[in-house]
Amino acid sequence: MTFFEVTILPDDVQIKVPAETTLKQVFNDNGINFEFPCGGLGVCKRCKVSIIKSDGQVQEVLACQYKVNEDVTVNLPQKELKHAILSEGIDRHVAVDALIKKVYFELPRPSLSDNRDDWRRLINQQGIKTSLKVLQGLPEKLRQSDFKVTTVIAGDTVVAVESYDTTDKLLGMAFDIGTTTIAGYLIDLKTGKELCRVSALNPQTRFGADVISRISFAAESPEGLDKLHGAVIGEINNLIQEAVRETQYSNLDIYAITFAGNTTMEHLLLKIPPTYLARAPYVPVVTEPIIVDAAELNIKINPDGKVFAFPNIAGFVGGDTVAAVLAAEMDKADKLKLLIDIGTNGEIVLGANGKYLACSTAAGPAFEGVQISCGMRGASGAIDHVSLGEEYKYTVIGQTTPIGIAGSGLVDTVAELIKVGIVDKKGRLLKPEEIENDLGKKYRDKITTINGILAFVIAEGASGRPIYVNQKDIREFQLAKGAIAAGIEVLLKEYGAQTQDIDEVYLAGAFGNYLNPESACTVGLIPKVLKSKIKGIGNAAGAGAKLAIISRNEYERAVALSQKINYIELSSHPSFNSTFFNKVGFE
């Protein structure tokens, strides 16, 4: 391949690029701030720059169209670029270059010396597409508004033409479609600013709490899929209404939707039967990114708006994981990164330098508080931290009387019980008389038998009801943490890396944010050597969905990333089971 040198003035930066690279690509790839109002289609002609060719000739070119085929100097004007700052556990600065754009045109009227057709008058550029619907309405639209119109552009397609200048109204909405919760973010696509956020329980919950029960429901009757699909679309439409009401916009001002969800959620949202996700070999119908008309999904935004789904990786590593990996910029990592998103399943991604592996472990819902005697979600009233030091301490979300124990509280409790010798290496909760550790002996009276099972009482809840962790809970917990830990180990082995090679561990999701890294390492959920490298990154899936709607480049990064992540099926992996059994105990 032939390379040429591009010199960027006034900063005098030299960049080597392959032949045929556009200046837009050069700017994008090298973080050079420059605005492409029409997204680089060549229709708005507003990205003109002057270049100095190798023979000294000066020329004005469109940065989006000009291809480098010789050494060239680009004289860049000092421009201010709109940047959106995204703080969602991780800070990300992105240039605003939304998935949908508007460009306003004041066109010359037709004359005998300029009798181009209406479409060519509007878009004087080959290769830009449009719909028959736009063409059918075009002649009247142009003449009613004296040839002053705004085009709405998605990718290389003009999806709508509006009378006069409507560029001030261009909103998008990013959705994180969780199995339990749906979160939506209304974004001004001109500035990248978040206007408001809304959330609701996923109404599919009434057909089944987890993905497996919903897949069964969808497969059991012909109307099953319709009902699940209708439920999530209905709630999305409610959230859209709520968001625009709150910000005094109209739903017609929204032209783009992104959504990131797990593979099942995305299938249901797109009304694609998820049937075969629930049985081996757990095959999705599609993992590629899907872009469809909002109208096709009955989503009530502007009728010409588009919906962009995140690509999935496999049946149990979905678009939400891709969005999280995007938010964490793992594609730019040159040192090994580990991302863990713990929910009912634990999705784990390991990699750097363009090589990534992912797996999903059936951790079970212990960390979400399910199947744990006093377990609950990380909401008000949940014990989120416990410390069995010289002083006994615990904290409750919302500082109220405790009503249960959250996942992070469970991890803390087990970790502390191990430290003070109340739980042994095999996970057995010792009887008071068996405790040898001095500090442990202090907590002997908290050990009791409840419903015939030995338990450690953390606190007294409302009406004197004890909040506790029992032997059965600890066994559940061991299975869950063992699955995650084994997943990490198998990925490392497949990757050919050592634990200590990992440079950073990202914990995505609410659980990750609450989790005490020390406890996570004590219980062996995360290898001990990584303790100082753990970083909670919050709702990374939501952050990724927002990044994508603000920036086409981010959406394309997500797509590229999804294709670079190789899925490892643990259920058939030769060493997963033995690794798992090694990981259920404590060291």
How far CA 296 is from CA of 131, 137, 262, 305, in Å, comes to 15, 20, 21, 10
* d(C-alpha 114, C-alpha 413), whole Å: 78
In 3D space, the residue among 446, 367, 449 whose CA is nearest the CA of residue 412 turns out to be 367
**Neighbouring C-beta atoms of residue 93, cutoff 10 Å:** 10
In 3D space, the residue among 31, 18, 256, 298 whose CA is nearest the CA of residue 154 turns out to be 256
List alpha helices for 443-531, DSSP H: 471-495, 509-514, 517-522
Q: Quick one: 247 or 572, whose CB is closer to a copy of itself?
A: 572
Q: Quick one: 286 or 457, whose CB is closer to a copy of itself?
A: 286
Q: Quick one: 297 or 541, whose CB is closer to a copy of itself?
A: 297
Q: Quick one: 45 or 573, whose CB is closer to a copy of itself?
A: 573
CB of 291 to a copy of itself, least distance (A): 9
Query: Phi/psi zone of residue 518: left (φ > 0), alpha (ψ -120 to 50 degrees), beta?
Result: alpha
Surface-to-core class of residue 10, CB atoms within 10 Å of its CB (0-12 exposed, 13-18 middle, 19+ buried):
exposed
* d(C-alpha 258, C-alpha 236), whole Å: 12
Residue type, 168: D
CB of 44 to a copy of itself, least distance (A): 19
Report residue 466 as tokens.
């004890």
Q: Quick one: 4 or 282, whose CB is closer to a copy of itself?
A: 282
CB of 243 to a copy of itself, least distance (A): 25
CB of 223 to a copy of itself, least distance (A): 15
Residue type, 492: L
CB of 307 to a copy of itself, least distance (A): 10
CB of 546 to a copy of itself, least distance (A): 24
Q: Quick one: 39 or 284, whose CB is closer to a copy of itself?
A: 284
For residues 286 and 272, the answer to whether their CB atoms sit within 8 Å is: yes
CB of 451 to a copy of itself, least distance (A): 40
Binding site for a copy of itself (CB under 8 A): 2, 110-121, 126, 132, 135-136, 138-140, 143, 270-273, 275-276, 280-288, 290, 292, 296, 312, 314-315, 563, 569, 571-572
CB of 304 to a copy of itself, least distance (A): 16
In 3D space, the residue among 533, 496, 497, 503 whose CA is nearest the CA of residue 518 turns out to be 533
Q: Quick one: 109 or 335, whose CB is closer to a copy of itself?
A: 109
CB of 137 to a copy of itself, least distance (A): 9
* d(C-alpha 234, C-alpha 300), whole Å: 9
Q: Quick one: 58 or 283, whose CB is closer to a copy of itself?
A: 283
How far CA 521 is from CA of 414, 461, 495, 506, 518, in Å, comes to 11, 28, 22, 14, 5
Q: Quick one: 270 or 327, whose CB is closer to a copy of itself?
A: 270
